[in-house]
Amino acid sequence: MHGEYKVPGGKLVVVDLDTEDGVLRGVRVAGDFFLEPDEALHAIDRALEGAPAGTDTAGLAARIDAALPAGTTMLGLTSEGVAVAVRRALAQATEWRDYDWRLIHEPPQSPALHMALDEVITAEVAAGRRPPTLRVWEWGAPAVVIGSFQSLRNEVDPEGARRHGITVVRRVSGGGAMFVEPGNTITYSLSVPESLVKGLSFADSYAYLDDWVLGALGEMGVRAWYQPLNDIATDVGKIAGAAQKRVVEGQGGVLHHVTMAYDIDADKMTEVLRIGREKLSDKGTRSAKKRVDPLRRQTGLPRETVISRMIGSFRNRYGLTDDRITPEEMERAQELVRTKFTTPEWITRVP
């Protein structure tokens, strides 16, 4: 069995192993990490040899920690990262390069249609009818997108939304409210098979699915990192937030979507969103304007260039074939817009 895991902010860990009578056998750990002393690598292998195959990540990491020689130094590697790679091997998880990735980047569409397309495309991937897909959004209208479990009245100021012509929609994933305007944000979705995140905890899957974009930002001179549970941050502020939805039908799928701040009108945002003091204090800031740091200022690049470089970075890593939404997918999405995403029952499901 073979498992791979890139430690968030670190290096790739590769584990090859067998199982016999319910325990791990022939464990070999490798990767592009740094480790001193040399014998620490053999200590890790020996610690995992004979471990019950049902041992969870914490248990495997504890075995490794107990076996490491005194004074061991790990760079780009953690005991937890090795343990996750083991769990992915046992789960027979797939890897990014196992797939023929598709790109969808079409003209602007309505906020409600974007919500519906996420649901339809992820369901198609889960059913095995569509390859894993990266979809880059273009917004046809300004919007507030609230999380699946948020209270509409607690998050949105209706007078401010009306005054600024803001559409309010609810997405299928959890998390917080997003304020978006055409040209001011970069939003993308990853619709992937569940097998890609097998062996990962829910929290670890966020870091795993965000890793490629951290690399893309680094290529543009932005030092960014994953900040649990669902933020992407830099040393001058948060720049993005992610959310996920799991699909259990078919072979299973995961929707992972991210909104990045390119050039947010913070004054308008605070007139439309009810951003409470507790939420701001939780982010360590005193004003809403400091909650996000636009990519325009950090990259110095036009939005279209940032998107192009992100797509190029993904393509260089994993391959990416240009694709379109099929007529059948669009028909299903438009039906969901009519029957679900524009209905009061859905938008006010948590009033």
pLDDT for 279: 54
Instruction: State both tokens at 14.
Output: 């590769």
Share of the chain above pLDDT 70, in %: 95
pLDDT for 284: 47
Question: 3-class DSSP state for residue 199?
Answer: coil
Task: Describe the crossing of helices 79-90 and 57-67 by its angle, rounded to 10 degrees.
Answer: 130
pLDDT for 107: 97
Please check the confidence at residue 312 and state whether its pLDDT lies above 50: yes
pLDDT for 267: 87
* pLDDT, the chain, mean: 94
Please check the confidence at residue 290 and state whether its pLDDT lies above 60: no
Q: Which residue has the higher pLDDT, 290 or 64?
A: 64
Cα distance between the two ends of the chain: 49
pLDDT for 277: 44
Instruction: State both tokens at 10.
Output: 């670190």
DSSP 96: G
Residue 102 CA, chain-centre distance (Å), reads: 17
Residue 188 binned pLDDT confidence (cut-offs 50, 70, 90) = very high
Angle at 114 between CA 108 and CA 120, to 5 degrees: 130
Q: How many residues does the chain have?
A: 351
Phi-psi label, residue 186: left if phi above 0, alpha if psi -120 to 50, beta otherwise: beta
Helix (H) or strand (E) run with residue 173 in it: none
* Domain extents in the chain: 2-90, 96-347
Q: Are 168 and 143 in contact (CB under 8 A)?
A: yes
> How do residues 210-235 score in pLDDT, each as one tens digit?
999 999 999 999 999 999 989 999 98
Q: Which residue has the higher pLDDT, 285 or 94?
A: 94
Quote the pTM value.
0.91
* 163-168 average pLDDT score: 96
* Distance of alpha carbon 48 from alpha carbon 55, whole angstroms: 10
Q: Which residue has the higher pLDDT, 19 or 294?
A: 19
* 81-101 average pLDDT score: 97
* Distance of alpha carbon 289 from alpha carbon 291, whole angstroms: 6
96-347: CATH number: 3.30.930.10
Residue 9 binned pLDDT confidence (cut-offs 50, 70, 90) = confident
Nearest residue to 145 (alpha-carbon basis) of 10, 31, 243, 277: 243
Residue 289 binned pLDDT confidence (cut-offs 50, 70, 90) = low
* Distance of alpha carbon 262 from alpha carbon 339, whole angstroms: 32
* Distance of alpha carbon 337 from alpha carbon 320, whole angstroms: 28
pLDDT for 237: 82
Phi-psi label, residue 243: left if phi above 0, alpha if psi -120 to 50, beta otherwise: beta
pLDDT for 78: 97
* 55-59 average pLDDT score: 96
Q: Are 136 and 190 in contact (CB under 8 A)?
A: no
> How do residues 103-143 score in pLDDT, each as one tens digit?
999 999 999 999 999 999 999 999 999 999 999 999 999 99
Q: Are 169 and 137 in contact (CB under 8 A)?
A: no
Share of the chain above pLDDT 90, in %: 89
The answer to whether domain 2-90 and domain 96-347 are alike in fold is no
Please check the confidence at residue 318 and state whether its pLDDT lies above 70: yes
2-90: CATH number: 3.30.390.50
* 77-86 average pLDDT score: 97
Cα dihedral 58, 62, 64, 66 in deg (nearest 10): 180
pLDDT for 293: 63
pLDDT for 8: 87
Q: What residue type is 345 in one-letter code?
A: E
Please check the confidence at residue 64 and state whether its pLDDT lies above 90: yes
Could you please report the per-residue DSSP string of 324-343? Answer: ---HHHHHHHHHHIIIIITS
